[in-house]
Amino acid sequence: MLVTDMDHATIARMIHAHPGADVRVIIEDSQFDVHSQVLAVYSGYFRALFDGPWKKEAIKAEGDGSLHLVKPGDIITVQQFQILLNFIYLPTFGDQVVLCESNLVDAEIVASAMDVVALQLAIQRTYGTLTKFVTWQNVEMLLETSKIKQLPVTSAHCWKFLARDKGAHWIRVWYLAERYGKDELTDPAYFSNLPRDPWNDPFFAKLSEKLQKTLLLARLREYELSSEADQNNAYGGEPVMLVNAPAALRSGSIAATTVNAAVAWALEYILTNRT
């Protein structure tokens, strides 16, 4: 079935006032007349609510004695609850109509908040069909939202995107990995992805001092090994200075350079501990 923006827009505006409804859900300034049993089948949140104290304390909706009020509070928005109801009440449309790039994050927020396993699985399937959802423009925002709202599916796709980088953005990858606790992406196994002069990357200064030093030692040792290999070939193995290192790192006085302190530390460490 061909899915168009018009399909998504039409679905998003659906009014949920279903015949035989026994519950009126109030979110912000909107109301939805729905079935408690239907909500309970899909949602662990509503299942626990309807089986718990609410059963005895339910308040009748004003002006309609056949409906009981439910107010989830501020844990989800109107738009997010609308996605959930579309998913529940329009199953024949399939994931591709109810879910799209523009509402996936909101869909996972409501799936997490309302404990809707079926919707979480649908989100995973939809993510699997998208190749350009996560970009360098939105990845940090998505990671921050995932952290705050506890969105494992969105988070996993962000890290999958970041792990594919082959060097152009790798310092930024390290910065995000450190900030959001993805330690495996700062493993030495990824050193081959590092740019030649990492200290020139704007995200380098945002790394922790420990990570800066780890990174720089790895990179400067490559300069050293490269220099020694060249010297061994030409002069029979005499020890040499880091002749391949950038000029700023080879200046006479490390303290006088404008190089980041961690760069100076790494160079000084290598020169002091040469054998």
Three-state DSSP class for 137?
coil
Q: pTM of the prediction?
A: 0.71
DSSP string, 138-159: THHHHHHHHHHHT-HHHHHHHH
Question: Domain map of the chain by residue range?
Answer: 5-130, 171-272
pLDDT at 215 over 50: yes
* pLDDT on residue 239: 36
pLDDT at 81 over 90: yes
Which helix (H) or strand (E) segment holds residue 34: the answer is strand 30-34
Lowest mean pLDDT among 115-119, 137-141, 186-190, 226-230: 226-230
CATH 3.40.190.10 fits 5-130, yes or no: no
pLDDT at 11 over 50: no
pLDDT at 256 over 60: no
Q: In whole angstroms, how large is the CA radius of gyration of the chain?
A: 28
For residue 106, give the nearest of 93, 116, 3 by alpha carbon: 116
* pLDDT on residue 262: 57
* pLDDT on residue 248: 42
Residue 107 structure tokens: 């869909």
